[in-house]
Amino acid sequence: MPPAVEIDDLDKRILDVLQCDARISFAEISRKLGVAEATVRFRVKRLLDNGFITKFSALLDPVKVGYNVSGAILLKIDPAHLEEVCTKLTSFNETRYLFQSTGEYDIVSVVLARDMAHLSELVKKTKMLAGVKDARVSVTTRFLKFDPTIEL
Instruction: Say whether pLDDT at 148 is over 90.
Output: no
Burial status of residue 121 (CB atoms within 10 A of its CB: 0-12, 13-18, 19 or more): middle
**Domains annotated on the chain, with CATH:** 9-49 (1.10.10.10), 63-139 (3.30.70.920)
CA nearest 95: which of 73, 79, 116, 115?
A: 73
- Per-residue pLDDT at 5: 79
Name the helix (H) or strand (E) containing 125.
helix 116-127
The 10s digit of each residue's pLDDT in 91-116 is 999 999 999 999 999 999 999 999 99
Q: What is the pTM of this model?
A: 0.82
In the DSSP assignment, the letter for residue 101 is -
Task: Provide the greatest CA pair distance for the chain.
Answer: 56
For residue 91, the number of C-alpha atoms closer than 13 Å in the C-beta half-sphere is 9
Give me the amino acid identity at 152. Answer: L
Question: Of 124 and 143, which is predicted with more confidence?
Answer: 124
